[in-house]
Amino acid sequence: MTEPAIERVLFTEEQIHARIREVAAEISAKYAGRELKLIGVLKGSIFFLTALARHISVPVRIDLLAISSFGKGAPGVVRIAKDLDDPIGGEDVLLVEDIVDTGLTTRYLLQTLSARGPRSLGLCTLLDRTIRRLIQVPIEFRCFEIPDRFVVGFGLDYKQLYRNLGYIAVLKRDS
């Protein structure tokens, strides 16, 4: 059963978990023999982060930050609303995003984190909508490329709803 506001399902729960396992294996191979800090961005990426972390085989630490944007008039202008709990200096850090769209938010986060002196800083995203990219960002691990439609589910929201859907879906245009 899908929600009435859903136009079509892009990725089922099974497809998402299968792909996350593959990406987690790539991450485990890359960081073999090291410890990894996963940094999630509230609230959207926490569903992806927890699913991913369960399948990573190297020791993992988790920290979270929250950002707030200045609204539609200033796209990509964001600030940190809740900072990380701990420093990241000298650590292998992987930024875990729900979606990279224009790339503006991700660029800001990568610049901010890189200024804190991690040993390495990588980027992993659940969804990649390259067609809307304004700023090139170095995505090292990604689960799915998506078309130019607004999507919800598996952490992604519309007006704070639908984050808890197990699947990822296109919302009806009139929702």
Q: Which residues bind ligand IMP (CB under 6 A)?
A: 44, 76, 98-106, 150-152, 156-157
Give the Cα separation of 26 and 24 in Å (integer): 5
The angle at the Cα of 169, spanning 163 to 170, to the nearest 5 degrees, equals: 115
Q: Least separation, in Å, of the C-beta of 100 and ligand IMP?
A: 5
Of these residues, 101, 148, 157, 174, which one is catalytic?
A: 101
Give the Cα separation of 62 and 50 in Å (integer): 9
Q: At what angle do helices 13-30 and 46-54 cross, to 10 degrees?
A: 60
Which is nearer to ligand IMP, 116 or 150 (by Cβ)?
A: 150
Which is nearer to ligand IMP, 103 or 122 (by Cβ)?
A: 103
What residues does 153 pair with on adjacent strands? 156
Whether the Cβ atoms of residue 47 and residue 29 lie closer than 8 Å to each other: no
Q: How many CA atoms lie within 13 A of 76 on its CB side?
A: 12
83 labelled catalytic: no
Q: Least separation, in Å, of the C-beta of 6 and ligand IMP?
A: 13
Which is nearer to ligand IMP, 36 or 105 (by Cβ)?
A: 105
In the chain, beta strands by DSSP E:
6-11, 36-42, 60-69, 78-82, 92-100, 120-128, 141-145, 151-152, 168-171
> For the CA atoms of the chain, what is the radius of gyration?
16
Which is nearer to ligand IMP, 20 or 156 (by Cβ)?
A: 156
Q: Least separation, in Å, of the C-beta of 101 and ligand IMP?
A: 3
| Active-site annotation, residues | 101
